[in-house]
Structure formats: structure tokens, C-alpha cells
């Protein structure tokens, strides 16, 4: 076989291997993380949150991409991620400023797929995830201490406040509770978070925002 042909075959083989490796490294798939957790995880790393005592709680997991990234990050610190979700995309009827309900937006993302099946597929590689399937108002957390929580469940103000109270008392000193959809197109959710901040101001050491991601983070004294 001519040398040029051999080199061409070898080049195509190497490109195929590189493409395969790239697809592996992009697990979970980008579309499964609607928050964009890379910026959040970079912030958590800077604050050395993983070095604190306690586990991690995520309320509202949806497609599981963010859950998988949290599990990968905090797995380095031997921490569990407790993921609370009702796995019913029709559950959240909160409407945004454009008049779209969250349930209708979730249905568009799922395109007929079963939410829990998608979540399980996107988190299957991580064994430090503990799924607590059900309504967060009925949830009981098995962990005694929490270093980080991320609240992105039902966006109704009653749920926002419930979810905060579920994790705040168990959050260790220097631990963080984060909210998604703060300052975005869900003003009722933003107001509920502002009310929680005001009511718990004495216990909050620092308030941080990740611009462009609709994330606010409360560090406990």
C-alpha cells in the first residue's frame, strides 16, 4: 500500500479516536445543564466549599446535567449529593414575564421524553447521588450537615421559602445556599428570595451573585 494512503488511513483513525474521546469528555451532554454549572463550580472552588463539613443538596434536578456536575465536583471531597425532584414536569405552574408557565417550558425541553428516564441516564456514572423523589414540601433530609445547597425547584414563592428553610438550619458555618432564577424573568421568585434574605440577614455573612446566570449565593455566618 502506498505510503500516502497509509498515512491518510492513520490520520482518519486518529481523528476518529479524538472525536470519541471528546464525546466521552462532554458527559453529561451540554443540553442537560440549563444552569451552566461550570461558572458556579469555579466559584465554589475559589471559596473552598468542598473542604467544609457536610454534604450537598440540590432541589430541582430536571435533566440531571447539573446534578452530575455537582456529583463529579464534590465526589473529590467524598461528599454525597442529595437530589430532590418530583419528576413531574407539569408540576410547576409559575409563569414568567412573557406569560409562559415553567411546566410548558419543561415540556418543550423534554419533547415527549420521560423526565426521570433522562435524569437517570445523565447521572448514571455517579454513585454519590442519592435521589429523594417527591415533593420538596414533604422531603426529609437524611444528612445532618450541609456545605452547599442549590435551589432550583418549583418557582412558586411558597416553595422557594420552604426549600430554603429545609436546608438553611443544616448549613454549616461558611456553607452556602444558592438560588437560581434570581433577577431574571420570574419576579415573584426574586421577591421571595429577597424576603428570605431580609428575614435571615443576621445569619448571612455574604451575598454573592453570578452575573449572567441568574444565581445568587448566601454564605452562612
| Residues 32-78: tens digit of each pLDDT | 999 999 999 999 999 999 999 999 999 999 999 999 999 999 999 99
Question: What is residue 170's predicted lDDT score, i.e. its pLDDT?
Answer: 98
DSSP state of 169: T
Question: What is residue 24's predicted lDDT score, i.e. its pLDDT?
Answer: 46
- Residue 26 confidence class, pLDDT cut points 50, 70, 90: low
Give domain limits for the chain. Answer: 1-27, 33-220
For residue 129, pLDDT beyond 50: yes
| Residue owning grid cell 455517579 | 126
Cis peptide before 28 (omega within 30 of 0): yes
DSSP state of 34: S
Which pTM does this prediction carry?
A: 0.88
**Assigned CATH topology for domain 33-220:** Rossmann fold (3.40.50)
Amino acid at each position: 500500500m502506498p505510503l500516502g494512503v497509509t498515512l491518510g488511513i492513520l490520520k482518519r483513525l486518529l481523528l476518529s479516536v479524538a472525536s470519541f474521546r471528546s464525546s466521552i469528555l462532554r458527559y453529561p451532554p451540554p443540553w442537560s445543564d440549563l444552569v451552566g454549572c461550570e461558572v458556579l463550580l469555579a466559584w465554589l472552588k475559589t471559596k473552598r466549599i468542598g473542604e467544609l463539613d457536610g454534604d450537598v443538596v440540590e432541589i430541582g434536578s430536571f435533566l440531571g446535567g447539573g446534578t452530575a456536575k455537582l456529583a463529579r465536583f464534590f465526589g473529590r471531597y467524598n461528599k454525597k449529593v442529595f437530589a430532590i425532584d418530583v419528576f413531574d414536569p407539569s408540576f410547576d405552574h409559575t409563569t414568567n414575564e412573557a406569560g409562559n408557565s415553567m411546566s410548558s417550558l419543561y415540556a418543550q425541553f423534554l419533547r415527549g421524553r420521560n423526565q426521570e428516564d433522562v435524569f437517570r441516564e445523565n447521572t448514571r456514572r455517579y454513585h454519590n447521588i442519592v435521589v429523594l423523589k417527591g415533593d420538596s414540601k414533604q422531603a426529609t433530609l437524611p444528612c445532618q450537615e450541609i456545605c452547599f445547597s442549590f435551589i432550583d425547584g418549583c418557582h412558586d414563592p411558597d416553595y422557594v421559602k420552604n426549600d430554603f428553610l429545609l436546608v438553611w438550619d443544616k448549613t454549616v458555618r461558611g456553607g452556602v445556599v444558592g438560588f437560581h432564577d434570581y433577577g431574571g424573568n420570574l419576579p415573584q421568585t426574586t421577591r421571595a428570595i429577597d424576603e428570605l434574605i431580609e428575614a435571615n440577614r443576621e445569619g448571612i455573612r455574604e451575598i454573592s451573585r453570578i452575573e449572567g446566570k441568574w444565581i445568587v449565593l448566601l454564605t452562612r455566618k
